[in-house]
Amino acid sequence: MKTFRAATLGVATALALTACASANPDGEGANVVEETSAAVASPATEETTAAPVEETQATEGTLSEEAAAEPSESAVGTRETPLSVGTRITMGDYEVAITEVNKDATQQNLDDNEFNEAPPEGTQYVLVSMEGTYVGSDSGDPGFDLSWKILGSDNNTFDSSWTPDDAPSDFFPSCTLDTMFDIGETFPDGNWTGNFCILMPSTQVEGGAIILENFLSMESERAFWALG
């Protein structure tokens, strides 16, 4: 499986980049299967979001066909309206949920393996737990079929290979808490769990978001979860 992944990574990346070039980077909204808690909206209070709903209900039937056809501003899973941790959605051949976030897993990573190196000052490891079910007709490998990164509060993104510019030349992020590539092939109705671990600047953790994508999709298929 690892050999296959390495051999096809270049082609898959090219396909993904082609799709992303025409896709909405903010996401089109997620197909929610189960919501364990209310989706996290953009920094608006309940008072500010409740009024438009009431107004829409009051004027129902008076909207033009053009206005009715416009995408709903309340779509969840976008950059402006990220999902809350625990919300389960469909993505490609999977139902998947972000189930837990440890916003500073640095010490946990150091304790996990004595050879793990402390990250540069001003950075920390963020550990994200996922669970899912393969709902396709053949089989899949979540570690290969899905891709993930974190959007920081300053609108920069960070993946598992990111290091700060001023990091020592011999430093490379090493987080043995990452288990997504250990899941392996999964068949219909097979459940799985996994973690991914990303180094990022400490100043960008609060207010950040998790981005999950269907790696091989030729369509816009990405979802955002609030980092918490």
Confidence of residue 23 (pLDDT cuts 50, 70, 90): confident
Domain count, the chain: 1
Q: What are phi and psi of 175, to 5 degrees?
A: -130, 105
* CATH code of the domain containing 202: 2.60.40.1240
Tell me whether residue 66 is in a domain. no
Strands 157-158 and 222-226: unpaired
Task: Tell me which H or E stretch contains 97.
Answer: strand 94-102
* E strand intervals along 139-228: 146-151, 157-158, 191-201, 209-214, 222-226
Confidence of residue 70 (pLDDT cuts 50, 70, 90): very low
pLDDT tens digits for 98-150?
Answer: 999 999 999 999 999 999 999 999 999 999 999 999 999 999 999 999 999 99
Tell me whether residue 106 is in a domain. yes
Task: Order across the sheet with 157-158: list the strands.
Answer: 157-158, 146-151, 209-214, 222-226
Tell me whether residue 67 is in a domain. no
Sign of CA dihedral 7, 185, 88, 36: negative
pLDDT tens digits for 198-226?
Answer: 999 999 999 999 999 998 776 668 999 99
Tell me whether residue 70 is in a domain. no
Q: Which structural domain, as residue segments, surrounds residue 211?
A: 2-58+75-226
Instruction: Evaluate whether 187 touches 134 at the Cβ level (below 8 Å).
Output: yes
Q: Which residue has the higher pLDDT, 76 or 53?
A: 76
The rounded distance, in Å, linking the Cα atoms of 5 and 106 is 29
Instruction: Evaluate whether 197 touches 126 at the Cβ level (below 8 Å).
Output: yes
